[in-house]
Every structure is written in structure tokens, then in C-alpha cells.
Chain A
Amino acid sequence: MNGPIWRLIRLSRPVRGRLVVSVVFGVLALGSGVALMGTSAWLISRAAQHPPVLMLMVAIVAVRAFGIGRGVFRYVERLVGHDATFRILADLRARVYERLERLAPAGLPAFRGGDLLARLVDDVDAVQDLYLRTLLPCAVAAVVGGASVGVAWALLPAAGAVLLATLLAAGLAAPWLSAAVARRAERRTADLRGELASHVVDTLHGAPELIAYGAAPARLAEAARIDREFTRATARSAGTAGLGAALSALAGGLAVWGGLATGVPAVRDGTLDGVLLAVVVMLPLAAFEVVNGLPLAAQYLERVRASAARVFAVLDGPEPVRDPDEPVRLPDGPHTVRVTDLRARWTPDGPWALDGVSLDLPPGRRVAVVGPSGSGKTTLASVLLRFLEPADGRVTLNGTDVRDLAGDDLRTVVGLCAQDAHLFDSTIGENVRLARRSASEEEIRDALRRARLLEWVDALPSGLDTRVGEHGAQVSGGQRQRIALARALLAGFPVLLLDEPAEHLDTETADALTADLLAATEGRTTLLVTHRLAGLDAVDEIVVLDRGRIADRGTHAELAARPGIYRSMWERERAAPAISVP
């Protein structure tokens, strides 16, 4: 079987021993409970025949032992079970991470939205419930239930059969019925539930506009109408919602009733000793405790199945880039990157993001790639980093096709400072040091100086040890990009790609950052991807991309002098701040 649940079960192999120990103690605990009632029933029946007390000693000791054993065994079961679960979780996280590492960034749909990514991480954490809250209780219930049936069968086969049938009804049929009924109700109300949820979310997010325009009461009335409809639909399914619980209660009662119905005639015809009649009746009463935890386990199973399906859907995605089995050795520097007739796209049947692009990056040359959004600029950077496989054409490093190199090797030469460079929830110093673990504080300060950030950092009370917060939320957008730039500079990549480093910043900050970037990368092989043109007179060549093709190329002076996309972009950018009052 290849369902998500089975794959999760296979993942538990390294801790299987611990899980088994946990099940054993769980069986002993629950078994103690059942045995306590069975032994007590015998003890009382036997006592009613007024034997010498000595004859009862074994039973008395056993009753007391079972009374103590249940709590103690349960304690061990819980400890071992939790320990095993944490071990699985650590392993699972690492495995998921290793797979994500191969998929990132192009193969991960989750990266398109932070929410989806957070949900993936939640889903990974949620699957641990499978082991602790589903597998263990089910295994324990199966063993103890089976043993109870066995004991009843040995006493009186008919009573065993009754117990087996009723346990199956309560343990399997009732949870199944509950789940089926809930699924049917859910199908009937899912659309209304979705409509209500999006209406509520929309109302809360748009509340300022609703209030400003006096439209809140009408909107709330609409929400109330959908809510009433949804509540009515939910209430309609109430009648069936209790069927599972009713079946479970009926089965429990029938087990006891069946014990009497089979036991009484057996006592009369001598096949059952009268002393054991109470045991045959009370055993089902106690044994039904095993099915108590099953509805909850079934609920968790549903939740885990949904989470696991989402996790595996991401993990099973195709790897966007395959490293060669035997990578070629990285050519020595100085490095020349050459792009020849490159075509690339993000999905096998999607539109061409790059359609026949050629480009030379000899040592020390600085090239800017400009164009409107959607022109393929970021795709070019992704191919150069081997985050995306070229569909056609070649990218070479000193003549070696980059497809023959290990991705990690290539990325020691070609580095990136991205528009959405991630800052880790740590200090400024640690975020910069990520580029080179061995860097001294002086080197880090030097990188910050070149990114024009050192003065600001030194003015902070904690300096380099200032925390940047989650996703760098504690620092401004401009500072965030400069920290990322300092990191890229510290890494000292021979070829540096800058992908829209000034995106998301206001115009003034953006232009200042671009100027500093160009100053800091002087003499280094650089590819600057941007849609703002200010400061580009400093680069050696500008390549104008439009819908994946090179529309024009040349220096700033040449391009600004002739009509074309570049000149109209340039004129619009310069004109924007200067519209006069009519």
C-alpha cells in the first residue's frame, strides 16, 4: 500500500522497538483494568460460598496488584510513547528538510506564499499524532480486546462470540459510522461554510472601508443571512450525528445482556461453573473500556491523513534541477560566465520565460539586465544559480557546461543577493556571518561598511548583536537589503548576481541603495537585475529584456539616445516626480 498513512508508518522504523515497548505497557495497563474486574467478580462469587479465607489469598493479592499495576504500567507506556514520538518528529523534520533542500526554491509551490509554508511546517508537526494518538491506542485496544475475547471464549465459547461481535460493532462499525455521517454532513455544508468563512474574513479585512462608507450594517446583515443558512444546514444533520455514539452504547449493553443470555443456560446445563457466571457477565463490562479511546483515535487519523497528504504532495514534486552523478571539477578562476541562446520556463508546458538569450560575463565586467516586470529577468538569475534547468541553449563557466557541475560547487562561484533575501531570526552579525562561518568580526564590519550600514549598526545599543526579528521585521526594508548585501559581499563570490535589490523600497531609498551597490561592486563581475534605471550609467553593458527576448543592448548613453523600450522607461522614470499643476 502506498497511502500517506502507510508511508508514515514506514518512517517509524528506527523507533519501532520503543513503540512496541510502549504498546506492551499499554496492554499491561488496560489489561490490569479488565483483569481487576474479572478477578474481583470471581473473588466475590467464591466468597459467597464461604470457603476458608486462605483459599482466597491469591485472588486478593491479584486484585490489589491489578489495582496498583494499572497506574504504574500506564506511566511507563506514556513516557516511552512520548519519547518515541519525539524521536520520530526529529527524524521526520530532518527528512522533510533534506527533501525540501533539493526542491528549493523552484520546486516548492509553498514558497509563493508565506502562509502555505507555515502550513507545511504545521502539517509536518501534526503527523506525529499518528503514532501517539492513533497507532498506539489502536494496537493496545486490539490486543486487550482480543485477549478479553479469548478469556471469555475459554470460559464459554458462546459468550466469547457475543463479546467479539459487540466489540467489533463498537470498535470498528461505530467509529466508521460516525466518520461516514460526519463526512456526508460536511459535504452538504462545505460550500456554505466556505462562503461564510470568506465573507467573514473579507468583512474584517475591509472593515475600515465599510465603516468609512457606512456600509458595515448591510455587510453584517449579509453575514448573518449566510450564517443562518449554514446553521440551519448544520442542524439538519444533527439527527444522524449521534448514530455512532448510540451504536457504541447499544453494543456495550448488548455485550452484558448477551453474557447473561448465554451464561445462565450454561450454568443450568453444567457447562459453566456457577462461580464463573459473574466473570462472564462482568468481563464485557470492563472490556468495553478498550473501545473508549477509538473515536478520538479515528478523528486524529483523519487529521493526520489530510496533513500527510499535503506534506507528501510537496515532497513528491519533481526536482527542478538534477545534479550530475559524477560532477566535473570546478574550473579555476578567473571565471567567465557565458550564456548562449538560452531558453527556459518554469513549468514544462508554460510560456517561455527566456527565449534565446545570449550574454557574456568576463571577469570584472558589470552588466545590468532591465525590462518591465515579467520580462524574464529573475528567470535568468535562477538559471545562472542552477535553481532552474535550461530547456535549451547553454550556460558555461570557463567553457564547462554548468549542467556538468555540482550545484553547490557552482554556487561558490556564482552568488546572489535577492530581492527577498531572507534574514534569519538572529542577530545582524550572525546573519552576515552566514556567508562565511570563519569570518572575523573585523571582516564582518568591513562588509557592513561596504554596504554602507556600519554607521547605523555602530549607533545601535547592541551593535552587531542586535536581533533582527522574524523575517527581519525589526529592521526597515532598506536596512534589510543592506544586511543582505553585506552578507553577499562577505561571501566574496567571484560572480555576483543582484536581483532587484531595491524592490519594495520607496524611490529615494531605492536609488540610494542602487548607487551604493554599484560603488561596492566596482571591479567585481556583477549582473544587476532591475527595473529602475537610475545609476545605470556606471555599468559596462545594459541588456534590455522584453518577454524573454533581448530587445536591445548597449551602454546607458547609447540606449538613452535611441528610441525604444529603454528610452521610454527612462523618460517615464525621470518624468514621474515632475508632473506640474495644471
Chain B
Amino acid sequence: MKPLDPRLLRHARTTRVFLAASAVLGTATAGLVIAQATLLADMISRTFLGSADLGDLRTPMLLLLAVVAGRGAVAWLQEVAAHRSAAAVKSQLRGRLLEHATRLGPRWLSGERSGELATLATRGVDALDGYFARYLPQLILAVTVPLAVGARILLGDWLSAVIIAVTVPLIPVFAILVGLATQWKMNRQWRTLSLLSAHFLDVVAGLPTLKVFGRAKAQARGIREVTGRYRKATMSTLRIAFVSAMVLELLSTLSVALVAVSIGLRLVEGGMAFETALLILILAPEAYFPLRQVGAQYHASVEGLTAAGRIFEVLETPLPEAGTDTRVPDVRGATIRLDGVTVAYPERDAPALDAFSLTIHPGETVALTGPSGSGKSTLLNVLLGFARPDAGRVLVDWADLADLDPDAWRRHLAWVPQRPHLFAGTIAANIRLGDPDATDEAVRDAARAANVLEFADDLPRGLDTPLGERGAGLSAGQRQRVALARAFLRDAPLLLLDEPTSGLDAESEAAVIEAVRRLTADRTVVLVAHRPALAALADRVVHVEPAEVAA
């Protein structure tokens, strides 16, 4: 991983302002460090070798106090800058991430990816705090302070400057070298570590099962043993990994010791002034200190760097192609023709849909049946504009769906997925997703048609009942009916339904089917149906076969 990811500058412009501010503050720090050392060396030497008393040192003492206050002020400013920039950068990254993710579309967002992104946009972005507040400022100090301090030492004594100039660059070089050597071994170790956590989690999750089979108590010893084995394996790696740290510590402290002894010996011979020697001794450790701190802060900010890397990967994922034509034909009277439509997902061997053809007449209800994995949902994704055919085309009267602007096209359709998502908010607000400008009366009518009122009227606050995350508080069947109410309110000419009764018990199924029957009237409907009761609503049943069988 690079010490400073250039993508951060590109995607979050506030970072540049922060880096500029940190550079100013870093230069100020270097100046204050040198000023402090100069004042100290001057006063100690005048007291020890001369005969200065506090009264004679009034001016330098006051100056030193000012330097001390200055260092406090710089530390405060640095934190303030870090705090403000981190907040702004996090906000920028969050916004861009959300926007780009929704533009990438549901096909990209499917499955666990939406969960991973949610974590990334919240906790992942927050992990950048350490990176901004500690790591970046330290990185700048690691450049400004050694350079300024080195230059000052060079003015006093070239030999000490050479010792420092030779060893300081070795610190990052060694850190990288030793880091690379142990990296692959550490990686393997971290994998074992996560395996080990997974093993513990697996055993704890299976506790009820272990108890049933009388094997629960024996597992405690197993856990102790597995962790113990891991400890032995890890310690052998750490023995090597810590050598890197030892080399770095040796480099920095031993060179200070060398400088001290060398100037001490030259002092004895009278080859150097006491004040200069003292100045070099005070400054020498300062040249190494920021570099050592970078290493320490690096580990504290790895989490943020990793999260940032993931965010940039998402932001740099190219958007899918999309049509731009907003002149959508009148769907109410349009014939929709699928002509040899093939959709292949890169992660799967067989195409999800292979040269599939189908004509849907206006006002017709078509049910799609077939085993799972045969491409029924993919077909709906194509009609929704979530997936583009890799071959073949979809014609809406005279227009190719691929040329139409997806948002414009979607204004003419309503969709009820297999497991609809309900947002935190009231039932009414969830129904209103179908038409944000609908009147309360219209929302109520839609709720009645979808059999939502049947249960909502029993709730103390009716349609204004707030729902928890993901519709918590409603059963699967009730959630399904709220989603159907959205479609009623949408009143779109084309309706796409994906197994609206899957996973429902018999009673809920009946209520949903009744609502679906009402909804299919006077519309073109494509309906994925597993259960016969649902397929029975259709004018025509089309059987979809999995690709490799059909081919």
C-alpha cells in the first residue's frame, strides 16, 4: 500500500487543502524544534561555562516560553484541521459512494454487495479518522523535520550530519524491505487468524446442535487446543517480524549514541564548541522521532486505508452503458417482443438466459414458470432495464429497449420483487414510493386494493404506523401486500411480478393472490410464478428452461 493514495486527492478535494495546511504546520513545527534546541543550548552553555543567572537569561527564557506556547498552538491547529478535513472528506466520499452505487444499478448491487457497501459507507468511512488525524500529519512531519534538523546540524558539524544523513533514509528503506519479507508470511498468518475466528464462531453457532448430540462440553478443550496451536505458529512468524522493529530501533538509537560519543570525544580534544555539541545532541533524536512515529501510526490507520481503497475501487467501476432516448412508445398499446435475448453473468459458466424469444401482447398476463436458475428473474431484470442483453434485443413496438433512457422507460412500469424492501417510515410512505405526489385518498385506495387495509386498520395508527428497518413489524405476507399497494398506486401499464407468494403460508398467500388478480386487470403483466395458484391467474403460461438444457 502506498503511503499516500493519490486517488484520495482526486476523489476528495478537501484533502489537498488539508495537506497544504499540514505542510505549513509541519514547517512551523520544524522551525520551533530548532528554535527550542538553539535556545536551550545557548542558555545551558551560558550558565554552565559562563556565569549567567536567571536575570541575565530573561529574554531567552521568555522566547523559550513563546516557543513552547507555539508548539501547543500548532498541535491544537493540527487537530482542528484534521478534524474538519476528516469530516468533510468523509462526507464527500459517502455521497459519491452512494451516488455511484445507485447508478451502477441493482445488478451490480445484488446479494451481499449491498451489505458490504453499507458497512463501507458507514463504519469503513469512519475508519478514515485515524488516517487524517494521525497518519497524514505525521507523514508530513517525517519529511519536514528531518530535513530542517539535518540542515541545522550540517551548519554546526558536518560529521554528525553525515551520520544522520546516512542512517535516516535507511529507516524507511529497512521498514519497506523487512516489511516485504514478512508480508507474505504475515498474510498467511492473518488468514489463519480469520479461519480461527470463523472456527470459534462456527462452534458457538452450532452449540444447540452440539448439545443435542452430547458433544458440547468436549469442544471447550478443542477451542483451547486450536488457539494454542495458532499461538505457536504465529509466534514463530512474529520472531522474524519483530526483527524489523529491532533493526529500526537500533538504527535510530545507535546512531544517536554514535553522534553523542563522536562529539564528546571531539569536545575533549577541543575541536568543537560546547554550545554546538549540545545543540546537535538535542536535535539528533528529533531527526529520527517523526519517522519512527510514522510506522506506529501506519498500523493504526491501516483499517482506514483499506476502507478507502475499497471505496475507490467502487468509484472507479465503470457505469453500465445505457440508452438516452426519452421518447418511450405508449406502453399501454405496445407489443413487447423479446428476440433471441441472451444474458450472461461473468461469474457463471452458462448464460442466465440463452437466446430467449417471447412476444407479449398488450393487456396480456403472461406467467413464467420453470425450475430455479432457469432465468425467469433475469428476464424480469432485462425488462426492468437492470440487465442489458448481451445478444438479441427487446422491442417495444418500434423502439429498441437498449436505446431508451432507462429512467424514462421505468416510468411506465411497476415492479414487485420476490422479497420487497420496505423502508423505515410509515406504511403510507412506503406505498407512496409508487407515486410521491399521490393524495392520501389515492394511497388509501391502493392500500384497500392490495388488502393492506385488512391488517392496517387493526393497527392503532393505521397506515401511519411507523415500520422498523426492512419493514420490521410486518409479516412476510403483509410486506408483500404493501409492495403490491405501491404497484396499485403507480398505476403503470406494464406490471412485473416476481413470485409474489413465495415463502408465504396458505392464509397470506390467498390474500396476496386476490390482490394480484385485481392488479392484473387492464394491464400488460409478466409474472414469475412457482405455485399453480398464481400461474392460474395468467392468460398464458410460458415455461423457461435452464440455458444448458435449452441449448
A238 within 8 A of B: yes
Instruction: Give the contacting residue for A231; candidates B57, B88, B509, B537; CB below 8 A.
Output: B88
B350 within 8 A of A: no
Instruction: Give the contacting residue for A32; candidates B253, B293, B436; CB below 8 A.
Output: B253
Q: Which residues of B contact A274 (CB under 8 A)?
A: 47-49
Q: Nearest residue in A to B32 (C-beta to C-beta)?
A: A253
Q: Which residues of A contact B223 (CB under 8 A)?
A: 90, 93-94, 97
- Quick one: given A121-B200, A257-B65, A421-B209, are A580 and B246 in contact (CB under 8 Å)? no
Interface stretch, picked from A58-66, A156-164, A363-371, is: A58-66
A150–B72 Cα gap in the complex (Å)? 27
A278–B68 Cα gap in the complex (Å)? 18
A242 within 8 A of B: yes
Q: Nearest residue in B to A230 (C-beta to C-beta)?
A: B91
User: B531–A507 contact, CB under 8 A?
Assistant: yes
Q: Which residues of A contact B61 (CB under 8 A)?
A: 257, 260-261
Q: Which residues of A contact B44 (CB under 8 A)?
A: 260, 277-278, 281
A9–B342 Cα gap in the complex (Å)? 63
A247–B378 Cα gap in the complex (Å)? 62
B95 within 8 A of A: yes
Shortest Cβ gap from A51 to chain B (Å): 7
**Chain A interface SS verdict (over half):** helix
Shortest Cβ gap from B272 to chain A (Å): 9
Q: Which residues of A contact B249 (CB under 8 A)?
A: 29, 70-71, 74
How big is the B interface, by class? 35 or more
Q: Which residues of B contact A36 (CB under 8 A)?
A: 253, 256-257, 260
Q: Which residues of B contact A79 (CB under 8 A)?
A: 235, 238-239, 242
Identify which of residues 564-578 in chain A touch chain B, using a CB-to-CB cut-off of 8 Å. Answer: 569, 572-573, 575-578
How many residues from A make CB contacts under 8 Å with B? Answer: 155
Instruction: Give the contacting residue for A82; candidates B52, B201, B235; CB below 8 A.
Output: B235
A37–B252 Cα gap in the complex (Å)? 13
Q: Which residues of B contact A210 (CB under 8 A)?
A: 102, 433
B216 within 8 A of A: yes
A227–B160 Cα gap in the complex (Å)? 53
Q: Which residues of A contact B173 (CB under 8 A)?
A: none
Identify which of residues 88-130 in chain A touch chain B, using a CB-to-CB cut-off of 8 Å. Answer: 89-91, 93-94, 97-98, 100-101, 104-105, 108, 111, 114, 117-118, 120-122, 124-125
Shortest Cβ gap from A459 to chain B (Å): 17
Identify which of residues 227-243 in chain A touch chain B, using a CB-to-CB cut-off of 8 Å. Answer: 227-228, 230-231, 234-235, 237-239, 241-243
* A-B contact list, 25 entries, CB within 8 Å: A60-B264, A64-B254, A68-B250, A82-B238, A86-B234, A97-B204, A97-B219, A122-B197, A205-B115, A206-B422, A209-B417, A210-B102, A213-B415, A227-B91, A246-B79, A250-B68, A250-B72, A252-B71, A256-B40, A261-B61, A264-B43, A373-B505, A418-B212, A487-B213, A578-B533
User: Ordered nearest first, which 6 A-B pairs have the shortest CB separation?
Assistant: A242-B79, A253-B68, A67-B257, A90-B227, A71-B249, A86-B231
Interface residue ranges, B against A (CB under 8 Å) = 36, 40, 43-44, 47-49, 51-54, 57, 61, 64-65, 67-69, 71-80, 83-84, 87-88, 90-91, 94-95, 98-99, 101-102, 105-106, 109, 114-115, 117-118, 121-122, 197-217, 219-221, 223-224, 227-228, 230-231, 234-235, 238-239, 242-243, 245-250, 253-258, 260-261, 263-265, 267-268, 270, 274, 277-278, 281-282, 285, 293, 300, 384, 386, 407, 410-411, 413-415, 417, 420-424, 433-434, 436, 469-470, 486, 490, 502, 505-507, 509-510, 513, 517, 530-533, 536-537
